[in-house]
Copies of this chain bind each other. A is one copy, B any other.
Amino acid sequence: MDFMEFLKLANEETNRIIFDYLPKGHEVEELDLLYRMMRDYPSRPKKGLRAALCLLSAKALSGDYRRALVTASAIELFQSWVLIHDDIEDESELRRGSPTLHRLYNVPLALNAGDALHSKMWGLLLKNEDILGCEMAVRILEEFSKMVDRTAEGQHIELGWIAKNRWDLSEEDYFRMASLKSAYYTCTAPMRMGSMIGGMDSERLEQIDEMGRPLGIAFQIQDDVLNLIGGKKYGKEGKDDILEGKRTLILIRLLEVAKERDRIIELVSKPRRSKTREDVEYVFRKMVEYGAIDYARRVARRLYEEAIEKFDLVFEDVKDEEARECLRDLFRYLIERSW
């Protein structure tokens, strides 16, 4: 089985668990609407990369991915509620090709539906007690707790930069933010949990942190690149990050090297609603002109290679070598994907 087939399988199996668990309908009109809102983001097309990283780690170590299915499904639920809240915080218009939840309904209802889905994530994880035993179920909960904490910290850093209109940012600042906001929950946490369930010892688990961080930052950089040049398939309006004034590595690099720095800061600092298409295209052209996108790609490639080097140590001794190769292919896909 190649990793694309595994991604498809993982998506099918986690979707089954998620939609079995989420409430289906209610005779009270309002509650029926809430349940529909809760099922909305989980129903949108997704790749299920995080679930697959978790499942493949478990499979590589123990030969069995099924014991990690509830955990992997909860990771995907995490992604759903976080995106609902992110979209409100960023005033995003589109998510995976359709209007964001708060645009379909309104901010109060979407915010609350995000909370309801957040609670369901924890509720689903309690099913691990029967599958993994009480102690391991609680350890997974601890991992989730750390994962949500870090993601909120990373999100706060990014929102704080925007709120204070900060542009004096270094590559190090970006790495810290990306590591907390997305690398941890996208790569480190899923692999840590899958590996724990697969029986990995605690010393190796720490090495996963060192491998997941560069991989996850590389993933985020590729995400930022795709936001600029990914087009319709990516499911956003295109160049949203410039509209939202996101401090990507690309923009940070551009501000370091461009002689039009002041002009660029002036444009990207404008509130989203008063930015014109021309403003966005100007900044984008400068990114191309100064090679900021290529620069970011090179950084992502370097981080990926760092992660792969660690991969060979962490998963040196596994039970299921086919799963390990699948996982390695998935690593490459994370930074080479086109959507």
Which A residues are within 8 Å of any B CB, using their own CB? Answer: 28-31, 33-34, 82, 85, 88-90, 105-109, 111-113, 115-116, 118-120, 122-123, 126, 129, 134-135, 137-138, 141-142, 144-145, 148-149, 152-153, 155-157, 159-163, 176
Question: CA–CA, A119 to B142, complex, Å?
Answer: 11
Minimum CB–CB distance for A120 against chain B, Å: 7
Residues of B within 8 A of A137 (CB): 138
The prevalent SS among residues of A at the interface is: helix
- The answer on a CB contact under 8 Å between A85 and B111 is yes
- The answer on a CB contact under 8 Å between B145 and A115 is no
Given contacts A149-B120, A149-B123, contact A30 B157 (CB under 8 A): yes
Nearest CB in chain B to that of A134: its residue: B134
- The answer on a CB contact under 8 Å between A88 and B109 is no
A126 touches which one: B28, B107, B129, B145 (CB < 8 A)?
B145
A157 touches which one: B28, B118, B129, B142 (CB < 8 A)?
B28
Minimum CB–CB distance for A10 against chain B, Å: 25
A33 touches which one: B106, B111, B149, B160 (CB < 8 A)?
B160
**How many chain copies?**
2
Given contacts A126-B141, A141-B122, A148-B119, contact A34 B153 (CB under 8 A): yes
A109 touches which one: B113, B138, B159 (CB < 8 A)?
B159
Minimum CB–CB distance for A73 against chain B, Å: 15
Minimum CB–CB distance for A176 against chain B, Å: 7
Residues of B within 8 A of A155 (CB): 112, 115
- The answer on a CB contact under 8 Å between B135 and A111 is no
Question: CA–CA, A34 to B126, complex, Å?
Answer: 29
Question: CA–CA, A85 to B119, complex, Å?
Answer: 14
- The answer on a CB contact under 8 Å between A119 and B138 is no
- The answer on a CB contact under 8 Å between B161 and A30 is yes
Question: CA–CA, A297 to B111, complex, Å?
Answer: 32
Question: CA–CA, A293 to B156, complex, Å?
Answer: 43
Minimum CB–CB distance for A121 against chain B, Å: 10
